[in-house]
Structure 1
Amino acid sequence: MSLEQASEIQRRMYDFIVNYMKSEGMPPTNREIGRELNIASTGHVDYHLTMLEKKGLISRQAKKSRGIKLTKQTQDGIPVMGTIAAGEPLDIFEGATDSVDVGHNFTDTENTYALVVRGRSMIEDHICDGDYVVIKRQATCQNGDIVVAVHMQEGVSGSATLKRFFQEKDHDRVRLQPANSELDPIMIPKSIWDREWQIQGKVVAIFRQCITAA
C-alpha cells in the first residue's frame, strides 16, 4: 500500500519517522513521536504505528524502544542503515533510514549497505566524520580489513564500531585498530571475541558529500 492510503496523522507520523532517522541515524521512540505530534497517549501512537505496519510502510521489532524499520526506500541507491562510530562503539539499527546515490561507476551494490561515520578514529585512513562507508555483508574477514565489528548483548546486536581487524594468535586476542595515532586499539581476548563479538561486514567503498560555495 502507498502512503496516500494512510490517514493524515499517519502520514505526518511517517514523515516524522523518516526525517528523524535521517537526522539522528536511528528511529524515534513512541514517546518522541507523541511529543512531536502532540499525542499524549503512547497507546494512541502505537495504534497508528500498527496501521502503518499493516500498510507495509514500516516494520517493528518487539520489545525494542527504537525498533521501527522503514520498508520503503525514499530513493534509488544503497540503503543507509544508520550511523557507525569510528571511535567508541555506537548503537546501530537494522532499518534503513535513507539511501545514498553512489553513481553508475559503483556496480557492486548487491548485498551492500551504507553507514554514516561518526568520529575521527579512522581519519588516517581518510575516513572522516560524516563520510558514508559502503559495507559488504559478510561474517568473515582477513587481517587488515576495515570492518564493522558488532558487540552482541544477550544474543542480539547491541553496538558496533568501525576499525581495522587483526587476529593476534601469539597473544590469543583480537585487536580492533583505529587509524588515529592519538587513540588506543581495542584489545579483546579471543574467548570473549568468540562469545560476544561478530563481524557484520567489511568496508568496500567510501563516499563523501562535497559542498561547493555559491
Structure 2
Amino acid sequence: MSLEQASDIQRRMYDFIVTYMRSEGMPPTNREIGREMNIASTGHVDYHLTMLEKKGLISRQPKKSRGIKLTKQTQGIPVMGAIAAGQPLDIYTDAAESVDTGCQIPEAENTYALIVRGRSMIEDHICDGDYVVIKPQPTCQNGDIVVAVHMQEGVTGSATLKRFFQEKEHDRVRLQPANSELDPILIPKSVWDREWQIQGKVVAIFRQCGTAA
C-alpha cells in the first residue's frame, strides 16, 4: 500500500511520525500524536494508527508507549535514537528510521547511527542534529570518541558522547568534551568498572542533508 491511499489526517499523522523520529530519535506516543493533530481522544489516534498499520506504512509493538516502527524505510544505517553531547541522555534501543549515508563507511558492518543532542563536541565538528555512526565494541583506545553508558542498578541507563581517556596516574577515566567552556566528566576507576561501559566508538559523522561533516 502507498501513502496516497491513506486519508488526509492519516497522511498528516504519518508525516508527523516521520518528522518526530528524525528530530527525537524515537517514535512519538499516542498522546504526543494527539496533541500535534488536535485530537483529544487517544482512541481516535489509535484508530488512525491501526489504519496506517493495515496499509503497511507502520508496524506497532503492543503495550509499548513508543512502539511505532516505520515499514517503508530507506536503505541505510539504522538510527537507534539520540545521544547526548552534553549531560547523559536516556538511550532508546529500537531503530526509529535509517539514514542513507550516500557513501561507503569503513568498518560499516553492524554499525548504527545516533542523532546528536547538545554542543559539547562542537570543537570536533560534531554539532546538534548531526548523525554519528557507531561501531559497536566494548573497548576503545585513548582519544577515541565513544558512546559511554552509565549503568543503573545493572540495567542500561543513560549515555553520553565524549572522548575517552584512561588516566592511570590518577586511577580514573576522563570523558572529555570538545568544548572549551565545559568541564570533563571524571570517574574513579573503581566506579567506572562497576557502573560504566563502552557501547561503541564513532567511525563517521553526517549532517541531516546526508553529506559528510
Shorter chain as normaliser: what TM range?
A: 0.7 to 0.9
Q: 2:59 is matched with which residue?
A: 58
Do the aligned partners of residues 59 and 147 (structure 1) sit closer, same or farther apart at CA in structure 2, a change above 3 Å counting? farther
Q: Give the Cα–Cα distance (whole angstroms) in 2 for the partners of residues 142 and 79 of structure 1.
A: 25
1:173 Cα offset (Å) = 2.2
Q: TM-score, normalised by structure 1?
A: 0.76
For residue 180 of structure 1, what is the aligned residue in structure 2?
179
Aligned residues: 208
What amino acid is aligned across from residue 26 of structure 2 in structure 1?
Answer: M
SS at the partner of 2:164?
Answer: strand
Match of 2:147 in 1: 148
- Cα deviation 1:48-92 (Å, max 9, x = unaligned): 6678779793344856x4x32525352111122232221111233
What CA distance in whole angstroms lies between the structure 1 residues aligned with 2:41 and 2:169? Answer: 57
- Is residue 190 of structure 2 the alignment partner of residue 191 of structure 1? yes
* Match in the other structure for 2:95: 96
Instruction: State the alpha-carbon separation in 2 of the partners of residues 19 and 129 from structure 1.
Output: 16
Using a 3 Å threshold, how does the CA distance of structure 1 residues 82 and 3 change in structure 2: closer, same or farther? farther
Counterpart of 2:21 in structure 1: which amino acid?
M
Q: Secondary structure at the match of 2:200?
A: strand
- The two structures have a TM-score, normalised by structure 2, of 0.77
Change (3 A) 1:39 1:124: closer
Contact 2:76 2:99 in 1 (8 A): yes
CA distance in structure 1 between the partners assigned to 2:13 and 2:133 by the alignment: 29
Aligned AA (2:67): I
1:112 corresponds to which residue? 111
Deviations along 1:97-130, one digit per CA (max 9) or x if unpaired, are 3322222333543211112222222122222233
Aligned-partner Cα distance in 2 for 1:23–1:85:
13
Aligned equivalent of 1:32: 32
Instruction: State the secondary structure of the residue aligned to 1:174.
Output: strand
For 1:157 and 1:48, the matched residues in 2 are separated by: 33
CA distance in 2, matches of 1:116, 1:195: 27
CA contact (8 A) 1:69 1:95 kept: no
AA partner of residue 145 (structure 1): D
Quote the Cα distance in structure 2 between the aligned partners of 1:209 and 1:13: 22
Unmatched tracts of structure 2, length 5 or more: none
Question: Which is worse superposed, 102-111 or 85-94?
Answer: 102-111
> Separation in 2 of the partners of 1:152 and 1:61?
27
- On the 8 A contact 2:70/2:97 being kept in 1, the answer is no
Paired residues of 2:133 and 2:202 also in contact (CA < 8 A)? yes
> For residues 36 and 124 of structure 1, do their structure 2 counterparts lie closer, same or farther at Cα, with a shift above 3 Å needed?
closer
Tell me if 1:21 matches 2:21: yes
For the residue of structure 2 that corresponds to 1:102, the secondary structure is coil
After superposition, the Cα gap between the structure-2 partners of 1:130 and 1:41, relative to the gap in structure 1 and judged at 3 Å, is closer
Q: What's the offset of the Cα at 1:147?
A: 0.4
Deviations 1:113-156 (A, max 9, x none): 11222222212222223322111112222222110112233444
- Please tell me whether the aligned partners of residues 26 and 92 of structure 1 are also in contact (alpha carbons under 8 angstroms): no
Q: Tell me how far apart the structure 1 counterparts of residues 62 and 147 of structure 2 sit (CA, whole Å).
A: 22
User: Is 202-211 or 177-186 further displaced after alignment?
Assistant: 202-211
Letter in 2 for 1:30: N
